[in-house]
Every structure is written in structure tokens, then in C-alpha cells.
Amino acid sequence: MRIAQRLIVACSVLGLVACANDDYGDLDQFMAEKRARPAGIIAPIPAFKDYQAFAYSAKTIRSPFERPVAVQEVALFQSVATVRPDPNRPKEFLEQYTLESLQMVGSIRRDNIDWALIQDPEGGIHRVGVGHYMGRNHGRVVDMSGTYVAVVEIVSNGSDDGWVERPRSIALKGLNMGEG
């Protein structure tokens, strides 16, 4: 056993002595060649163009995601000189959403006043009464019950300065009353 241990120690020492070569000539030569080459030039960071915000100029035109006003509806609701949105009226909170994205989730009566409960797309619940505005097309609440809210929107009839009223309704969530 002792002989085997001594033989292992001797081989280990002999291996370490064989590896202890101080000749790094090839590595030194390689590094000298690399240092002799001209240094590379790092390109400067490219200049970025400033972001140009897009100015959406079609705010007053019908959204391409909404149904167009049918010719029959235009005939039924001919534009009247007095029908036009009031640009000076302060906007109400629910006017930032499309009418299709709002849902009626209930109704309440408080101090002898009826209110419809409308849910916005973010999940917030809002009280709305007759005369309040909602939707992006100047929709004014004209009637309501426990199952629906009737809204009259003012939409462009396609001419430069023509407007028509379009009746819409929001049914109580869960009822299938069709689209108004």
C-alpha cells in the first residue's frame, strides 16, 4: 500500500514539473502581432430623428369602426338648422367612450330621481340621468327605464356642415333587446 501511495505522489510531482514550462513565446508573439495592428475606429452613435406626433384631424368624422348612417335614416332624420353639437358645452366623463363600449348594469332611485348605472370599459360604474351626455357622438340621454337607456346622438350626415339626430339605446346587460 505504501508503495502505491509513493508511486502516485511521484507521478504527480513528475507531472507538475513537466507542466511547469515558463516558455510563453508563442503567446507573447501572438499578443505582439495583435498590438502591432492599427487600432480600429468605433463609429459614433447614429443621430436619431425626433419623434413627430401624429395629429389626428378626423375627430369630427364618423369612426370607421361604427356603422355608417344609412340613407333611410338620413331621410327619416333630415338635418335641421338647429341640430348641431354645442362646441362650448363641457364634456362629461362618459363622452370619452364609444356608445358600444358602455353597458347598462342596473338602475336606482334616489331622492325620487331615477338613475341608470352605466359601466365603462375599465369597469367603473357611473350614474346617468335624463339630460346627461355619453358616447363620442354627442349622445344625450332622453329617456330611461329599468331595462334601457335611450340616447339621441348628433352625427354628421356626410356634408360639410350637416348634422342629423340618431336614436340609440343601451339595454340592461343580460337582456337581448337588439340594437337601437
Residue type at position 51: Y
For domain 91-171, which CATH number applies: 3.20.20.100, 2.40.50.140, 2.30.30.830, 1.10.3720.10? Answer: 2.30.30.830
Determine the Cα–Cα distance for residues 99 and 102; give it in Å rounded to an integer.
5
Q: Can you tell me the distance from the alpha carbon of 44 to that of 14, in angstroms, rounded to the nearest whole number?
A: 55
C-alpha cell belonging to residue 18:
513537466
Whole-number average pLDDT of the chain = 82
pLDDT digits (tens, 9 = 90+) for 136-175: 999 999 999 888 999 999 988 777 777 888 899 898 888 7
